[in-house]
Structure 1
Amino acid sequence: MSIADTPSFSLRDRHLRLDPHAEAFVQDPYAAYARLHEAARAVYWEDYGMWCLAGFEEVNRALRDRRLGRQLPAGGTLYDAPHLKDFAAVEANSMLELEPPAHTRLRTLVNRAFVSRQVERLRPRIAALCHRLIDGFEADGEADLLPAYATPVPITIIAEMLGVPVEMGPQLLEWSHRMVAMYMHGRTRAVEEAANEAARAFAAFIRDCAAERRARPGDDLLSLLVAARESGDRLTEDELVSSTILLLNAGHEATVHQLGNAVATLLAQGGDPRRFFSTPQATAATVEECLRFDPPLHMFTRHAYEAVEVAEGVRLKPGETVGLMLGAANCDPRAFEQPRAFLPARGDQKNVSFGAGIHFCIGAPLARLELQVALDVLFARLPALRLAEAPRYRDTYHFHGLERLLCRW
């Protein structure tokens, strides 16, 4: 039974009642999205208390509309409670939460490390890492590929790029998970306190790393940010800390989910998975379809800076928030033929999984490369790979990823 056929789903006059924690929705949000595409491409999602957009055109347009942005109007904050002081300090200087000119200055500083030609140089290193990881579990004949493969690939690469100790990977993951829990629906006081503690510890760690880079600069991104800090007013100490935390968190969190989702998707197609990676072009197309078909981020928000119509008959007032349903947009039948068919060679290939506009994911070239290499190597090394159990998704909307990925070969 799909969520659209249960009491947890109700849609009347563009008002949606849909519990994002309902099991049927967690395991298959696309059934609900299909109902929205049929009945209302923009809905007031009562569980979130805001208008949400489900259509590809509407979401893509909103991502690019400069009348909408990430930074709260009039310098407001979502995290003004005393027990969120440290988390708020990190968020306040994150380029993800800022608009021009501050956003432009920060993004310009770090962008050079993530352009495609720079990232492409990492291909041999990523491949070597993937082979080493598979060497470690191949003889077992079975593994949960999330901790064994999908997690260490991106966390190792982003740590090496930034120049922080790779052996800190498990601790970085713990801090990251506690911080991103703040973006989930229905967070509790305990979640908030855990996120604040993680932000405080994470920031202290980055400040210590930055101090080491001042004394002993290296050929890494953190050294570049430290040099920018030392050159004057281009980067404050707080901006350096927030930018580094953002890059570490964003550099692995979504890619872990996408890699797990992609493996499950490809195995569900049946046959020899190596056929999806027969050429570099086929590999790239396969990754793009994985990004569209089952993306790792399903909800992103924007704040209105002035009165703006975000969909037919939906006009936001200044200060109001709109939810952009990226996962729904990627399976809009107005934008894609057979939207729930996995077709890497489709002629209408596009997605909003990395966003769009000035906040388009700065790490998109790196994420694409990691996915291309990690999937290609995995199926080349383990062509008999199969699911040992039906994959189950975690109750973490708006992040969309598996609880585990137990496979045999």
Structure 2
Amino acid sequence: MVNAGTPPRSGPRARSVDPRNPHFVQDVYRAYGRWHADGQAFFWEEYGHWCFAGYETVDRLLRDRRFGRQVLHVATREELGWPPRPAHLADFDAVERHSLLELEPPAHTRLRRLITKAFVARQVERLRPQINALCHALIDGFEADGQVELLSAYATPIPLTTICTLLGVPVEAGPQLLGWSHAIVKMYVLDPPMGDQIAANTAARDFAGFLRARIAEKRADPGDDLLSALIAAEDDGETLSVDELVSTVILLLNAGHEATVHQIGNAMRSILASKLDPRGLFADAEATATTVEECLRHDAPLHMFTRYALEDMELEADGTMVALKKGDRIGLLLGAANRDPRRFADPDRFDPYRTGQANVTFGAGLHFCIGAPLARIELQEALSVLFARLPGIRFAETPRYADAYHFHGLERAVLGWR
């Protein structure tokens, strides 16, 4: 039995890998290959918690109700031996406190039910023609140049414009929202420096202030948009509070933008490296959908999803018995699970034609990504339109991943077609 509080300091069940090491970040899948061969459950010393890389284990633990995104609904910080939260993160914490991603039942159940009333697949499907037109308009702006940095000129405007339009937020505010979003997500890496913490807190405060003003406007003059629908959403007499509305919109903007931008860039890398004929990959709606699902599996934008043990337990995972105490954190390695050779034949090969397609890129269980239907539409339209309009597209510079492990995406994607 291995106890999470006294992890091994050597041997196959303890690993020391600096997630900020550029060599690791540029070739995470090589590391994952070793981990799948040497042991899919291990204590990651730099993070200070157990991690799991096997597909079946990750999928199971995402659904295991003995774990949660938070633990303070069943224990106090004092009970867990945690220090008080620093005062300089008060505004950031205020936003996180009501985030759907961080809540557990019964608060999560109530909030998700209300949000789902306004944000369902059949409603976002109506956005497909608008997204398609946006993709064409963006390409119109750079097609004659023969070269483009895709992330800034294409991958970023698509989800940002879409989510702003969906929410009824002025598209002109996009650059400001983008700045706030970038600052906030820097809190989700290992040991963010003090400067990034202060910047994230300031961004959370300013973002919340901006949204409170928009919420007041929408209450006075509702429109045909998601923010108005969220304000009006009601279930058994319950509605979303202003704080819940603020946290929900920030989550939708941050998660809906950051992950999609990275996934478009990663998908281009996967497709072009495969040498497969894009005409077959995007021949029709069904082919496009399966190609996008393989892109999501092959090179996901989020590689670690953490959860807390809500009780003391003994956990069997991938042949390893692990003892966990209430409040212990675990890391579910989504990117590694998607490359598990026990689940996928030849997992490092990009193959949209493989049977038994699956991935855990959007999570599973209670916290399955509520924006997954919109993200899939954005990816299907962005990729199919791009290859249809620019059939000779290729990388003009060798793509490199940004030096960040948690959010895994390219730092630049310079493409040409002449």
Instruction: Indicate the TM-score class for this superposition, using the shorter chain for normalisation.
Output: over 0.9
Matched, 1:368 2:389: no
- 1:271/1:30 CA distance change after superposition, 3 Å: closer
Could you give the per-residue CA deviations for residues 247-296 of structure 1, whole angstroms, max 9, x where no partner exists?
Answer: 11111110000011001111112254222101211111100000000000
For residue 131 of structure 1, the aligned residue among 136, 139, 158 is 136
Alpha-carbon contact 1:16-1:46 (below 8 Å) kept: yes
- Segments of 5+ residues of structure 2 without an aligned counterpart are 1-8
Could you give the per-residue CA deviations for residues 130-152 of structure 1, whole angstroms, max 9, x where no partner exists?
Answer: 00000001011111000000000
Matched, 1:64 2:69: no
The aligned residue for residue 318 of structure 1 is 326
The aligned residue for residue 108 of structure 1 is 113
**Inter-partner Cα distance in structure 2 for 1:94 and 1:109:** 13
* Equivalent residue letter for 1:120: E
**Inter-partner Cα distance in structure 2 for 1:177 and 1:408:** 27
**Inter-partner Cα distance in structure 1 for 2:223 and 2:119:** 17
Mapping 1:177-216, distance limit 5 Å: 177-216=182-221
The aligned residue for residue 336 of structure 1 is 344
- 1:173/1:11 CA distance change after superposition, 3 Å: farther
Matched, 1:350 2:358: yes
Matched, 1:383 2:383: no
Q: How far 1:75 moved relative to its partner?
A: 5.3
The aligned residue for residue 27 of structure 1 is 26
**Inter-partner Cα distance in structure 2 for 1:398 and 1:104:** 27
Matched, 1:290 2:295: yes
The aligned residue for residue 126 of structure 2 is 121
RMSD (Å) for aligned C-alpha atoms: 1.7
Alpha-carbon contact 2:118-2:229 (below 8 Å) kept: no
The aligned residue for residue 42 of structure 1 is 41
Is the deviation greater in 309-318 or in 127-136? 309-318
Alpha-carbon contact 1:79-1:85 (below 8 Å) kept: no
Alpha-carbon contact 1:134-1:378 (below 8 Å) kept: yes
TM-score by length of 2: 0.93
- 1:245/1:231 CA distance change after superposition, 3 Å: farther
Percentage identity across paired residues of the two chains: 61
**Inter-partner Cα distance in structure 2 for 1:79 and 1:286:** 46
Q: How far 1:165 moved relative to its partner?
A: 0.7
* Equivalent residue letter for 1:406: V
Alpha-carbon contact 1:335-1:348 (below 8 Å) kept: no
The aligned residue for residue 15 of structure 1 is 14
**Inter-partner Cα distance in structure 1 for 2:378 and 2:281:** 16
Alpha-carbon contact 1:337-1:348 (below 8 Å) kept: no
Q: How many residues align?
A: 400
**Inter-partner Cα distance in structure 1 for 2:273 and 2:83:** 40
* Equivalent residue letter for 1:96: L
Mapping 1:233-312, distance limit 5 Å: 233-270=238-275, 272-308=277-313, 309=315, 311=317, 312=320
Could you give the per-residue CA deviations for residues 60-97 of structure 1, whole angstroms, max 9, x where no partner exists?
Answer: 11000000010223255898110000000000010110
Q: How far 1:122 moved relative to its partner?
A: 1.1
For residue 160 of structure 1, the aligned residue among 155, 160, 165 is 165
The aligned residue for residue 96 of structure 2 is 91
**Inter-partner Cα distance in structure 1 for 2:127 and 2:46:** 43
The aligned residue for residue 6 of structure 2 is none
* Equivalent residue letter for 1:349: Q
The aligned residue for residue 3 of structure 1 is none
Q: How far 1:232 moved relative to its partner?
A: 6.2
Alpha-carbon contact 2:117-2:233 (below 8 Å) kept: no
Alpha-carbon contact 1:114-1:366 (below 8 Å) kept: no
Alpha-carbon contact 2:118-2:233 (below 8 Å) kept: no
Q: How far 1:231 moved relative to its partner?
A: 9.7
**Inter-partner Cα distance in structure 2 for 1:219 and 1:11:** 58
Q: How far 1:113 moved relative to its partner?
A: 3.8
Alpha-carbon contact 1:56-1:329 (below 8 Å) kept: yes
TM-score by length of 1: 0.95
Q: How far 1:108 moved relative to its partner?
A: 1.2
Q: How far 1:13 moved relative to its partner?
A: 3.0
Q: How far 1:38 moved relative to its partner?
A: 0.5
> Secondary structure, in 3 states, of the residue corresponding to 1:403?
coil
The aligned residue for residue 145 of structure 2 is 140
